[in-house]
């Protein structure tokens, strides 16, 4: 096969471009710190990297759900604990009032204190998480779930849901793909159906002599046990979310390390390759200069 000067020149320029392209690629990796900057660098690696990034983004969203749920459950447990303290105090006042030796005016004082406890529990039942979501509001958001009606004697006459459906409905968070968990306590089931409001009102009326105090004390005990059951449920959910959060933290560390192995460049190796390819390119330039240098005048000499 005949090798012409044009063929020789084209081969020299093509080889120089290949050497320069490899040099530029290595320099780009050193400058960016990434072994893969475009799919052609490593098609298999870029496919793995896309998969790892997808899992990391999904895990980040689930972890955000878990953390929000932990905050919700932590505040719920705190509020239920405070409600429990109010019930302890109401029970003390009721038992004291059940003593036949207590004067009537002392029972009225106790009734007034129980009335304040009712107001306190209603305020706790209307606790807001962030100004729009209410801990015990169920799926009813934007307004407090419970409201009080004042009586003519200045005491609380009744406590009722503020609107239809207030305090009802489960709030579920997806914490694992296709797996959700309820993170709220339905206020209607606890405070209304569960008898927390009614038992406190019954104790107050019993102390005032307008109701049966002994029956009211029994209702208070039943409602308090219902409160304890709900706190146990909240605690179990909180523990599960804590374990789930720990899982995502460990998964994040593992996936980040895997991503680094695929994407990040080994700087020492990159420097070594750059030096080698730089020397190769310089040698190629020198060889090209010798190959392309002869002309007709050089031949005539």
Distance of CA 166 to the CA centre of its chain: 25
Q: Is 97 exposed, middle or buried (0-12, 13-18, 19+ CB in 10 A)?
A: buried
DSSP state of 162: S
pLDDT of residue 117: 97
Report the alpha-carbon distance of residue 196 to residue 124 in Å, rounded. 12
Where do runs of H (alpha helix) occur along 98-149?
104-125
The predicted model scores a pTM of 0.78
Name the more confident of 9 and 67. Answer: 67
Asked if residue 215 has pLDDT above 60, the reply is yes
What does the buried/exposed string (b/e) look like for 186-208 if buried means 16 or more CB atoms within 10 Å of the residue's CB?
A: bbbebbbebbbbbbbbbbbbbbb
Q: Tell which residue, 207, 202, 209, has the closest CA to residue 223.
A: 202
**26, 277 in Cβ contact below 8 A?**
yes
Report the alpha-carbon distance of residue 165 to residue 222 in Å, rounded. 25
**Quick one: average pLDDT of 120-143?**
92
DSSP state of 127: -
Which residues lie across from 182 on neighbouring strands?
172
Please report which confidence band the pLDDT of residue 47 belongs to, taking 50, 70 and 90 as the band edges: confident
Asked if residue 293 has pLDDT above 70, the reply is no
**Helix or strand run (H / E) with residue 157:** strand 156-161
**Quick one: average pLDDT of 202-217?**
94
pLDDT tens, position by position, 57-112: 999 999 999 999 999 999 999 999 999 999 999 999 999 999 878 888 999 999 99
What does the buried/exposed string (b/e) look like for 121-152 if buried means 16 or more CB atoms within 10 Å of the residue's CB?
A: bbebbbbebeeebbbbbbebbeebbbebeeee
Rounded to 5 degrees, φ, ψ at 182 are: -75, 130
Torsion sign across C-alpha atoms 98, 100, 101, 103: positive
Task: Sort residue 159 into left (φ over 0), alpha (ψ -120 to 50) or beta.
Answer: beta
Name which of 108-112, 152-156, 232-236, 295-299 the model is least confident about.
295-299
pLDDT tens, position by position, 169-196: 999 999 998 899 999 999 999 999 999 9
**118, 89 in Cβ contact below 8 A?**
no
Asked if residue 298 has pLDDT above 60, the reply is no
**Quick one: average pLDDT of 269-295?**
73
């Amino acid at each position: 096969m005949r090798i012409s000067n044009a063929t020789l020149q084209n081969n020299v320029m093509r080889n120089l471009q290949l050497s320069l392209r490899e040099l530029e690629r290595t320099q780009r990796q050193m400058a960016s710190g990434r072994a893969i900057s475009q799919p052609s660098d490593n098609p298999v690696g870029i496919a793995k990297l896309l998969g790892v990034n997808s899992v990391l983004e999904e895990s980040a969203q689930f972890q955000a759900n878990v953390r929000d749920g932990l905050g919700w459950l932590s505040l719920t447990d705190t509020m239920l604990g405070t409600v429990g303290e109010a019930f302890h105090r109401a029970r003390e006042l009721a038992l004291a009032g059940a003593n036949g030796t207590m004067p009537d005016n002392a029972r009225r004082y106790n009734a007034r204190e129980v009335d304040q406890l009712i107001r306190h529990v209603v305020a706790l039942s209307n606790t807001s998480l962030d100004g729009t979501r209410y801990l015990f509001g169920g799926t009813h958001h934007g307004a407090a779930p419970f409201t009080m009606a004042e009586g003519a004697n200045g005491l609380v006459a009744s406590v009722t849901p503020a609107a239809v459906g207030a305090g009802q409905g489960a709030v579920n968070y997806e914490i694992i793909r296709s797996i959700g968990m309820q993170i709220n306590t339905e206020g209607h089931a606890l405070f209304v159906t569960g008898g927390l409001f009614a038992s406190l009102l019954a104790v107050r009326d019993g102390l005032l002599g307008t109701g049966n105090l002994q029956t009211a004390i029994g209702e208070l005990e039943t409602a308090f046990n219902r409160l304890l059951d709900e706190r146990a449920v909240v605690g179990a959910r909180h523990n599960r979310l804590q374990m789930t959060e720990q899982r995502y933290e460990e998964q994040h560390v593992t996936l980040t390390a895997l991503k680094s192995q695929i994407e990040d460049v080994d700087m020492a190796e990159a420097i070594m390759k750059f030096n080698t390819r730089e020397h190769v390119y310089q040698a190629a330039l020198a060889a090209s200069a010798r190959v392309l240098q002869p002309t007709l005048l050089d031949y005539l000499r």
